[in-house]
Structure 1
Amino acid sequence: MANTHKLFCSICTCNRTFQTLNNKYFLNVVKIFSISNHYFHFRDYSLWKVDLPKEVNKPFLVLDGTITKCDEFERNRQAYKVKESYYDKILELTLKGGGEKAIERHVKKQKKMLVNDRIKSLLDNKSKFLELSTIGGMGMKYGDVPRTGIVTGIGKIHDKYCMIIANDATVKGGSVYPITLKKQLRAQEIAEQNRLPCFYIVESGGAFLPLQSEIFPDKNQGGRTFYNEAVMSAQNIPQVAIVCGSCTAGGAYIPTMADEAVIVHKNGTIFLAGPPLVQAALGEIISAEELGGATLHCRTSGCTDYFAGTEKEAFKIGRDIMVGLNVEDKSNLSSCIDIEEPIYDVNDICGLIPHQHQHQLDIYQIIARIVDGSRFQEFKKLYGINLVCGFSYLNGYLVGIIGNQGDITQTSALKGSHFVSLCSERNIPLIFLQNTSSVEEELNGVEMSEKLKACGKLMAAVSCSTVPKLTVRIGNGLGTSQYMMGGRCISPNFIFSWPNAILGIMSPSLVAEELSKNVLSDLSVEEINLKKQELVVKLTNEMSAIYTSAHLLDDGIIKPVETRKILGECLRIVQAYQTHSTTDYPVFRM
């Protein structure tokens, strides 16, 4: 006789009735619901009792994330949406690449694939592509360079994470600008830090010569790309190049220094100087294919290892190379089946960000909307309350979270140092939710000295911590406090910004006020006020998330609703090839 089982979900109010012949089948039904995150909310009304997980067995307490959606909430939401809409417009413009004419010439005349299609052909069909610094290159002093002329990001090939660095030849013909180089070096830094195999999809005309002084000579300029390639190869981080177009001058070194290289027949060429320069120097007339094509480099020079008749064949070979790298991706071993979604709605965040004085954003409300089950074990809750520290799970990964709740005081800095030491000892990744205060407490000389010493300890602890560090600038990144809160200077594995974020020494109004007291003191009151207004407008623009992200001061802008998903993906990436390091000293209580 069949049993009737009815399940009811207390969250979405859906219910299901099942006719089952045995209890085993019913258990399988419950497992299916567990995957869709309803498992913990179903109740069985049948005669047969199912033991569901009990609340007491779950680690960490649930945060109180309840809010009242008042008029202030709506004002905050509207103010945030303005900034998000502006970002969306910049993003839309960026993704157009070099424009319709350049795209038409690239696809129809030259018969080449677009950079996005190339990346899709290389990655697994269902692989997510975490693109980095998407709006980089917009608003440069030398004009817009959409996506900096190069697309960088992380995806999976044969279910293994790798870094993709792909030239977009529709943007300035694939020329390398200073911002292009900066983005490529950052991608290599991320790859080295996380031990990600690198795949270079190359089609570059070399350096943009009018700006050669900003590209060529210094330590962290042109030649550093090749240095990084060699060093990563020596560290057993594979380097693979797929030549889809012209690789001229400096661009020629990428495939010739790679561990393995593929070249596309009739499209791919590698040479230091092209046919026009050869003719000018030697008087010899020669075609690009004869000078440095696939046949020459695969049959005669040996610069490349694989001959591909088409681009699609080249990417098939590239995927096969990944199999032969013999690397183990540990992220596939640590996937969790039962992951609790946050109890509170992540869409509320845009109404929680104050439209004025955003350093007053309640960090507990943010944590409650991004961590598993809104659960958080706070460390030293009553001590140093301006810095919130604690343990939680995010997409199934145990993490240590550090978030601002006001100015970093002496006690909060000591608390942070202690917490960072704990996470380093236990190999727990750190997540910084950065929102530093623009208002500091008033201190006398002795108190300021004690605060400086404590902040120095926090800075040292964060700098020397060997665990993965992920930073999200959710509000202000002002002053030296942003350094110790996972700023770029401490080399976090990833650092992202929300559209409302700002980055600078102090708020624009305070900078204008300071300058009016010193630099502008000789002017009349009317002139001072006018200059202050102009300065505030200028600094507000230069400290905005759009400006800082375009200049690659972070790894991209993410929206609050995307934060949990992207942090979860980053945690999988940093764990994929991570080597565990141990400390030879105990945790020092601060």
Structure 2
Amino acid sequence: MAALPDTPAQDPEQEPAQAVPPDNAEAFRLQCAAIEEAARLAAAGGPAEAVARHKERGKLTARERISLLLDPATPFLEIGRLAAHGVYDEPVPAAGIVTGVGSVGGRLVMIMANDATVKGGTYYPLTVKKQIRAQQVARENALPCVYLVDSGGAFLPHQEDIFPDAHHFGAIFRNIAEMSALGLPQIAAVMGSCTAGGAYIPAMADETVIVRGTGTIFLGGPQLVQAATGVVVEAETLGGADVHTRRSAVADHLAEDDVEALFLVRAILARAPAPPLPGPDLPPEPPLSPASEIAGLIPASPRQRLPAREILARLIDGGRLDEYRARYARTIICGTAAIEGYRVGVLMNDGVLYAESAQKAANFIELCCQRGVPLLFLHNISGFMVGEEYEAGGIARHGAKLVNAVATAAVPKLSLLVGGSYGAGNYAMCGRAFGPRLMAMWPNARTSVMGGEQAATVLGLVREGQLAKAGRTFDAEERARFEAPIRAAYERSSHPLHAAARLWVDAVIEPEETRAFLALALAMAKGGPKGETRFGVFRM
């Protein structure tokens, strides 16, 4: 995609350490405000009256359940906290389901907990997408799955976007079957309603717990039974805990309350052989400078250059990067480093991508795949260089080498947007379509097909050409009126909150959280299945 030419980075020996301007830090904090508020709303769950009714029934909230299930004082890597924010006509905090990775009995587990305070835990399209994404992360990293079920099934007004397609509701059940076949434990605890197609979650799990008095499982709920047969039946009689532990055997274990159910889930997981958590390759070290300084290094204006090497020094152990081709194609930084002791191959943009940048990065990916080193892509890219000289030089062909290498690399890939991530540059740096194990953004990052300024200029030129053909001029005032809403629309749609709400990224994290996020991701990847890389044809 279109990009403006960039100045090559200075030689690292001549690059002085930068101070931390307070105005940068202040501007960064302002960018965080909307994201922090959205995260607060997601964590709160449904409206206060719905939470109160939930607790009156003797039930814990989804997040309380997760907290009790996890080993004490261990982190929870939440996936999709901002999902569905502002997407639907009504609020659907966290898309009505809490998903993430945590430690249970000393092993990493993927947890998926319906939030019944949000629309009764019913599934919106993004609820389905979020749960399938959580299952994908579990499969890629060989994690057991725990389903804390409390859901009214599909949200019927959106049924055509939930039910029939390949990546809709049915994919959840297919994933359970396939992961069980791979030997990844699938454990369900029914802690509320479990209706219609959702009943297949506990029915297909390896083992299922149900809570007396609150847990129910039925393919057809009382209303459907009455509509279909005319018979009036109570939910507990139709599909309560006694029915399913005494008569149907849909559930295996009876719990008297949520706390006992979570205890039983921990006991079930403890019976399965648990591989030890993968330790780091090297002794962990702090970065050269504290990560708390990164916010002050991010320019207040997106027109200013992001100091790539200064940021790297605050992310990797000891600030040490074993750099690959350090003096060649300086607009992309490639090298091997460690994060909390876990080895990783780092690719970070420091300018626009030229043909030689693409070739250098593709060669570096080949080396990492040969050596089994995971890859970390740090996006700060406006795109590939454009212009007559570069097109004639085959930049599309050289860029395709990098895209090919990224697509077919079988080592674990992680993706973090630290600045802009635009157009084909997003693809070349392992955007969502290229299978990163986890993908996150910083609050200052932006992503779209091109920058808003570029889009407004391009569409303005198109409009100018149309008017010229009609014999009209396009004066400065009219151009400004035409371009302003385009810039505004691109700013909204490229914002991290917009991306996270649609699950284009797994999380929006702050720079200070980045090392912990990446270390857990690298630990998961180290314990996951190993693939063999087979590259496609590189056109020479």
Q: TM-score, normalised by structure 1?
A: 0.84
Partner of 1:570 in structure 2? 521
Q: Name which of 427, 436, 457 aligns with 1:492.
A: 436
* Matching of residue 99 in structure 1 with residue 50 in structure 2: no
Partner of 1:580 in structure 2? 530
Partner of 1:87 in structure 2? 35
Deviation sequence 1:208-235 (CA, Å, 0-9, x none): 1111111111111111111111111111
Partner of 1:53 in structure 2? none
Is 1:65–1:344's contact at 8 Å kept on the other side of the alignment?
no
* Matching of residue 268 in structure 1 with residue 249 in structure 2: no
Partner of 1:514 in structure 2? 458
Partner of 1:67 in structure 2? 17
Letter in 2 for 1:493: R
Supply the distance in 1 between the matched residues of 2:441 and 2:303 (Cα, whole angstroms): 14
Supply the distance in 1 between the matched residues of 2:424 and 2:375 (Cα, whole angstroms): 19
1:139-538 equivalence runs, <5 A: 139-331=86-278, 334-335=279-280, 338-357=283-302, 360-437=305-382, 440-444=385-389, 447-449=392-394, 451-519=395-463, 521-522=466-467, 525=475, 526-538=477-489
* Matching of residue 559 in structure 1 with residue 540 in structure 2: no
Supply the distance in 1 between the matched residues of 2:532 and 2:218 (Cα, whole angstroms): 46
Supply the distance in 1 between the matched residues of 2:539 and 2:449 (Cα, whole angstroms): 31
1:448 deviates by 4.4
The more displaced of 354-363 and 404-413 is 354-363
Is 1:407–1:441's contact at 8 Å kept on the other side of the alignment?
no
Q: Which ranges of structure 1 fall in alignment gaps of 5 or more residues?
A: 1-61
SS where residue 103 of structure 2 aligns?
A: strand
Q: Would the alpha carbon gap of residues 575 and 149 (structure 1) be closer, same or farther in structure 2, given more than 3 Å must change?
A: same
1:532 deviates by 1.4
1:63 deviates by 8.7
1:330 deviates by 4.1
1:362 deviates by 2.0
Letter in 2 for 1:279: Q
1:96 deviates by 1.6
SS where residue 243 of structure 2 aligns?
A: helix
Supply the distance in 1 between the matched residues of 2:139 and 2:334 (Cα, whole angstroms): 29
SS where residue 244 of structure 1 aligns?
A: strand
1:127 deviates by 2.0
The more displaced of 93-102 and 472-481 is 93-102
Is 2:382–2:450's contact at 8 Å kept on the other side of the alignment?
no
Supply the distance in 2 between the matched residues of 1:354 and 1:485 (Cα, whole angstroms): 22
Is 1:477–1:504's contact at 8 Å kept on the other side of the alignment?
yes
SS where residue 19 of structure 2 aligns?
A: coil
1:581 deviates by 3.9
Supply the distance in 1 between the matched residues of 2:446 and 2:533 (Cα, whole angstroms): 35
Supply the distance in 2 between the matched residues of 1:359 and 1:400 (Cα, whole angstroms): 27
* Matching of residue 128 in structure 1 with residue 128 in structure 2: no
Q: Would the alpha carbon gap of residues 545 and 186 (structure 1) be closer, same or farther in structure 2, given more than 3 Å must change?
A: same
Supply the distance in 2 between the matched residues of 1:321 and 1:394 (Cα, whole angstroms): 33
Deviation sequence 1:383-436 (CA, Å, 0-9, x none): 111110001111011111000011111111111111101111111111111111
Supply the distance in 1 between the matched residues of 2:390 and 2:350 (Cα, whole angstroms): 24
Partner of 2:8 in structure 1? none
Q: Would the alpha carbon gap of residues 415 and 132 (structure 1) be closer, same or farther in structure 2, given more than 3 Å must change?
A: same
Q: Which ranges of structure 2 fall in alignment gaps of 5 or more residues?
A: 1-11
Is 1:139–1:550's contact at 8 Å kept on the other side of the alignment?
yes
Deviation sequence 1:38-93 (CA, Å, 0-9, x none): xxxxxxxxxxxxxxxxxxxxxxxx999853437xx333222212101221122122
1:552 deviates by 0.8
Which structure is larger by alpha-carbon Rg, 1 or 2? 1
1:276 deviates by 2.1
Supply the distance in 1 between the matched residues of 2:353 and 2:228 (Cα, whole angstroms): 63
1:359 deviates by 7.3
Letter in 2 for 1:537: A
1:355 deviates by 2.5
Is 2:432–2:505's contact at 8 Å kept on the other side of the alignment?
yes
Supply the distance in 1 between the matched residues of 2:282 and 2:100 (Cα, whole angstroms): 26
Is 1:359–1:435's contact at 8 Å kept on the other side of the alignment?
no
Supply the distance in 2 between the matched residues of 1:175 and 1:534 (Cα, whole angstroms): 36
Q: Would the alpha carbon gap of residues 75 and 171 (structure 1) be closer, same or farther in structure 2, given more than 3 Å must change?
A: same
1:338 deviates by 4.0
Letter in 2 for 1:257: M
Supply the distance in 2 between the matched residues of 1:584 and 1:213 (Cα, whole angstroms): 38
Supply the distance in 1 between the matched residues of 2:203 and 2:481 (Cα, whole angstroms): 57
1:336 deviates by 6.9
Q: Name which of 446, 465, 490 aligns with 1:539.
A: 490
Is 1:359–1:436's contact at 8 Å kept on the other side of the alignment?
no
Q: Name which of 524, 545, 550 aligns with 2:501.
A: 550
Partner of 2:4 in structure 1? none
1:564 deviates by 1.0
Identity %: 38
1:337 deviates by 8.4
1:173 deviates by 0.9
Supply the distance in 1 between the matched residues of 2:101 and 2:517 (Cα, whole angstroms): 12
Partner of 1:20 in structure 2? none
1:584 deviates by 8.0
1:567 deviates by 0.7
SS where residue 101 of structure 2 aligns?
A: strand
The more displaced of 440-449 and 162-171 is 440-449
Q: TM-score, normalised by structure 2?
A: 0.92
Deviation sequence 1:496-533 (CA, Å, 0-9, x none): 00001111010011111222222474486444422311
Supply the distance in 1 between the matched residues of 2:434 and 2:312 (Cα, whole angstroms): 23
Supply the distance in 1 between the matched residues of 2:172 and 2:463 (Cα, whole angstroms): 42
Q: Would the alpha carbon gap of residues 182 and 124 (structure 1) be closer, same or farther in structure 2, given more than 3 Å must change?
A: same
Supply the distance in 2 between the matched residues of 1:584 and 1:447 (Cα, whole angstroms): 29
SS where residue 339 of structure 1 aligns?
A: coil
Supply the distance in 2 between the matched residues of 1:336 and 1:538 (Cα, whole angstroms): 45
